[in-house]
């Protein structure tokens, strides 16, 4: 009876957010009964809140020895996620799914982790299983839909999202993804209205602002694009591609000086996207600054050479064509070796906008804007590296 009282007190302290006091009471209770699953599990959870991860792991492992519960596996996986160890988290969730193969939360989390690591086949498998048991699972549908979008299956993704829209009509990631499906289908007005709804529901989500900027650039509404991209940069100041899109907007608003500043920042921040340097080089060339253009062209070549080894990458055909034109204009020939198959531009939506001629130079026809549509999987999701 005394044990139950202690557990009750500890639980109350835990619910009040007094985790340290709760651990002391749980430890007292543990002296009375070493083999109580509830005590071990709750102690582990308290230690997670206190950021004492090794103690938390020890308690949760003890709990699993006493009794295997889904919740304990979930908490143990969370520790590894908090420590940034995705591989260990996956190991834990795999064991959990073996023990409880119909738990949709476990299946969805495992699917999202595989998605984050780029292991798409396994991600799809687990998300598909989650949807078999629970066809309206919001997180699983959002993640599966974002994968379909990435592969250009916009109609299938939209069908999936329709199921969720009834259940969770106020979800910003959902409206973001629906908007980018319409963008993929080149239905720009519909895309903007969905993205505006997402933005209304989550005004500080930079991905939604990025997408709004991107769609407005595509529609050649440069002042609106500038507005949304500036807002995105305020929230996410360390992303090179945002500055590149801003520079494209500024170029088209006939402000080459500020466009150059934005490109300089983009180049400083971005380590892997050759498009950033290519666009900068085009602007410099059109402004009559051949030397600067050549330096950026060479930077772009370095990035391309680094990326060539990446098996997943395909270069965008529009980008290759642009690079070859610029190479010819700078008289460095077609020194670029594009070994990967060229991707059809239909599947990756880039926007092309006419660049203004700078002085006497014959302008290169177009300055590209990167169009890596940002879709949101529900939970653990890295930023797309945006290369290509």
Residue holding tokens 């798409």?
120
Retrieve residue 387's tokens: 């290369």
Burial class (CB in 10 A: 0-12, 13-18, 19+), 251: buried
DSSP-derived pairing of the beta strands 366-369 and 351-354: antiparallel
CATH number at residue 7: 1.25.40.10
- Let me know if residue 117 belongs to a domain: no
Retrieve residue 308's tokens: 């060539």
- Let me know if residue 332 belongs to a domain: no
- The per-residue pLDDT for 342 is 37
Retrieve residue 183's tokens: 């963008």
Whole-number Å distance between alpha carbons of 67 and 72: 9
Whole-number Å distance between alpha carbons of 107 and 130: 6
pLDDT, tens digit (0-9, with 9 covering 90-100), for 120-174: 889 999 999 999 998 888 889 999 998 888 888 999 999 989 888 888 889 999 9
Whole-number Å distance between alpha carbons of 353 and 225: 13
Q: Which domain range does residue 29 map to?
A: 1-100
- The per-residue pLDDT for 324 is 84
Please give the C-alpha separations between residue 11 and each of 17, 22, 33, 262, in angstroms, as whole numbers: 10, 7, 16, 53
pLDDT at 338 over 80: no
What is the phi/psi pair of residue 369, to 5°? -115, 140
pLDDT, tens digit (0-9, with 9 covering 90-100), for 299-334: 888 888 877 776 556 677 777 888 888 888 887 644
- The per-residue pLDDT for 271 is 83
Among residues 377, 379, 380, 384, the alpha carbon closest in space to that of 161 is found at 377
- Let me know if residue 334 belongs to a domain: no
- Let me know if residue 176 belongs to a domain: no
- Let me know if residue 32 belongs to a domain: yes
pLDDT, tens digit (0-9, with 9 covering 90-100), for 254-308: 999 999 999 999 999 988 888 899 999 999 988 888 899 899 988 888 888 877 7
- The per-residue pLDDT for 304 is 84
Chain Cα centroid distance, residue 276: 19
- The answer to whether the CB of 113 falls within 8 A of the CB of 89 is yes
- Let me know if residue 79 belongs to a domain: yes
- Residue 74: count other Cβ atoms within 10 Å of its Cβ: 17
Whole-number Å distance between alpha carbons of 93 and 323: 45
Retrieve residue 339's tokens: 């070994």
Burial class (CB in 10 A: 0-12, 13-18, 19+), 253: middle
Whole-number Å distance between alpha carbons of 200 and 183: 19
- Let me know if residue 10 belongs to a domain: yes
Whole-number Å distance between alpha carbons of 229 and 262: 11
Instruction: List Cβ neighbours of 190 (8 Å cut-off, separation of 6 or more).
Output: 179, 182
Domains contained in the chain, number: 1
DSSP 276-321: HHHHHHHHHHHTT-HHHHHHHHHHHHHHHHHHHT-TT---BHHHHH
- The answer to whether the CB of 249 falls within 8 A of the CB of 266 is no
Count of all residues that appear for the chain in the document: 388
Please report which helix (H) or strand (E) contains residue 120, including its range.
helix 120-133
- The per-residue pLDDT for 376 is 55
pLDDT at 235 over 90: yes
- The per-residue pLDDT for 332 is 67
- The per-residue pLDDT for 375 is 55
Among residues 291, 290, 293, 270, the alpha carbon closest in space to that of 280 is found at 293
């Amino acid at each position: 009876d005394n044990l139950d009282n202690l557990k009750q007190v500890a639980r109350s302290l835990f619910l009040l957010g007094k985790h340290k006091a709760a651990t002391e009471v749980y430890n007292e209770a543990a002296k009375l009964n070493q083999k109580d699953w509830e005590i071990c599990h709750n102690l582990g959870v308290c230690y997670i809140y206190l950021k004492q991860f090794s103690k938390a792991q020890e308690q949760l492992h003890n709990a699993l020895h006493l009794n295997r519960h889904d919740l304990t596996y979930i908490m143990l996986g969370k520790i590894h996620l908090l420590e940034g160890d995705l591989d260990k988290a996956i190991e834990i969730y795999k064991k959990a799914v073996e023990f409880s193969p119909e738990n949709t939360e476990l299946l969805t989390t495992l699917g999202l982790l595989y998605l984050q690591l780029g292991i798409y086949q396994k991600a799809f498998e687990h998300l598909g299983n989650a949807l078999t048991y629970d066809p309206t699972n919001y997180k699983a549908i959002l993640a599966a839909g974002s994968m379909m979008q990435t592969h250009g299956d916009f109609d299938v993704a939209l069908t999936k999202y329709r199921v969720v829209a009834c259940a969770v009509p106020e979800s910003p990631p959902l409206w973001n993804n629906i908007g980018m499906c319409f963008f993929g289908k080149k239905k720009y007005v519909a895309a903007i209205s969905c993205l505006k709804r997402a933005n209304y529901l989550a005004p500080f989500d930079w991905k939604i602002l990025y997408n709004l900027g991107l769609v407005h650039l595509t529609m050649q509404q440069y002042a609106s694009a500038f507005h949304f991209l500036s807002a995105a940069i305020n929230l996410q100041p360390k992303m090179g591609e945002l500055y590149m899109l801003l520079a494209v907007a500024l170029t088209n608003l006939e402000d080459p000086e500020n466009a150059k500043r934005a490109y300089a920042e983009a180049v400083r921040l971005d380590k892997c996207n050759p498009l950033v340097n290519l666009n900068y080089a085009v602007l410099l060339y059109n402004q009559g600054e051949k030397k600067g253009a050549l330096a950026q062209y060479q930077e772009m070549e370095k990035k391309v050479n680094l990326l060539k080894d990446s098996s997943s990458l395909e270069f965008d055909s529009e980008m290759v064509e642009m690079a070859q034109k610029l190479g010819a204009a700078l008289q460095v020939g077609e020194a670029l070796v594009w070994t990967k198959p060229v991707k059809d531009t239909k599947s990756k939506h880039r926007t092309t906008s006419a660049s203004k001629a700078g002085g006497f130079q014959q302008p290169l026809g177009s300055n590209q804007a990167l169009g890596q549509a940002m879709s949101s999987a529900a939970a653990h999701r890295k930023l797309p590296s945006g290369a290509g």
